[in-house]
Amino acid sequence: MYEKREVTARVEKQESLTEDVRELILETELADDAMPGQFVNLFCGDGARLLPRPISVCDTFMGRMKLVYRVVGAGTAELAALRPGDTVRMVGNLGNGYDPRTAFGKNVLVVGGGLGIPPMYYLSRLLHALGMRGGAEAPASLTMVLGYRDQASTFLHRAFTGFGKVVFASDDGTIGYRGTVLDAIRAEEISCDVIYACGPLPMLRGLASFAEEQRETEKDIKCYVSLEERMACGIGTCLGCVVKTKHEDAHSRVRNARICTEGPVFDSAEIAW
Ligand SMILES: Cc1cc2nc3c(=O)[nH]c(=O)nc-3n(C[C@H](O)[C@H](O)[C@H](O)COP(=O)(O)OP(=O)(O)OC[C@H]3O[C@@H](n4cnc5c(N)ncnc54)[C@H](O)[C@@H]3O)c2cc1C
Ligand code: FES
């Protein structure tokens, strides 16, 4: 495991995927050891915004890291202004990420909602590569369910094709099933042994209940969720990102976990939803 480190990345490319979603390609050594589900903390150049902005790793290739983000405030607007050749300071790779070993030999369901979709691209690509290699590490099957607001807000949706079965859901039905990702999973009667998910909290909560339901009636489904809630320091010191857990931490004696260091990926059965 590599240590987290602060680096200066060079912007290779930036383009718009939708009206407010951008794809940023950075040349950085962090690309060499980033795992799906991990994130980087990007520092804004403006001294008024000292807290770094966490963005998940969407992909890595040949010393490049792809980030996909929505412009929602001043920090991401500043990122959107970066041009090829500019540099950006960042710390990575942060967080635990998804453990691909939990997918070995399993029927895998990957679920992404909105801006939770970028990290699921990297995970799906890795799981597909394991499948192509074959042997005991190959997942038995890979299904991906992606949820969007509507057709106009889609991004990365074509990129998943070829990794396995892809199912879409949208609020207004303009792409895929009309409704939530959970509505699509039920309509398609998708059967799985393990779920990996990232997206809005209500979606993650719904998937955690779905897995719980399955455990009560049928089989032992595992569900791993990435909690991309607001963060401050991003390195475990401010306690600004704690989530309530069901079990007491043996060391600190509290039922809390820091999303930035113990997460952002958690076994959904460990979270006190
Ligand atoms: C581990 C992690 C990974 C993330 N990965 C991505 C990613 O891959 N792509 C992406 O677009 N975003 C991602 N985010 C969210 C991203 O960090 C925020 O959108 C960003 O920090 C906002 O900065 P800002 O200065 O532009 O907006 P701010 O001015 O800080 O906030 C603008 C608005 O966005 C809301 N907001 C800020 N942060 C969050 C958040 N984490 N969740 C929900 N609402 C928020 C604020 O409440 C406010 O209404 C991730 C967050 C975490 C914690
Ligand atoms: S953001 Fe500071 S402890 Fe997690």
In the chain, where does the domain assigned CATH 2.40.30.10 lie?
5-94
Contact 139, 106 (CB under 8 A): yes
Count CB neighbours of 154 within 10 A: 20
Task: Give 231 Cα–ligand 2 centroid separation in angstroms.
Answer: 6
Residue 46, pLDDT above cutoff 70: no
The pTM assigned to this predicted structure is: 0.95
Residue 45, pLDDT above cutoff 90: no
Residues of the chain above pLDDT 70, percent: 96
Mean pLDDT, the chain, rounded, equals 94
What is the rounded CA–CA span in Å between residue 207 and residue 223?
8
Helical ranges in the chain per DSSP H? 74-80, 117-133, 181-187, 201-217
Task: Give 70 Cα–ligand 2 centroid separation in angstroms.
Answer: 22
Residues of the chain above pLDDT 90, percent: 84
Kindly state the tokens that stand for 154. 């889609």
In the chain, where does the domain assigned CATH 3.40.50.80 lie?
100-196+222-228
Could you tell me the fold of the domain covering 5-94? Elongation Factor Tu (Ef-tu); domain 3 (2.40.30)
User: Which ligand neighbours the alpha carbon of 259 most closely?
Assistant: 2
Q: In the structure, what pLDDT confidence band is assigned to residue 194 with cuts at 50, 70 and 90? A: very high
Give residues (CB < 6 A) around ligand 2: 231-234, 236-241, 258, 260
- Say if ligand 1 is within 6 A of residue 48 CB: no
What is the rounded CA–CA span in Å between residue 247 and residue 271?
8
Tell me which H or E stretch contains 12. Answer: strand 5-16
Could you tell me the fold of the domain covering 100-196+222-228? Rossmann fold (3.40.50)
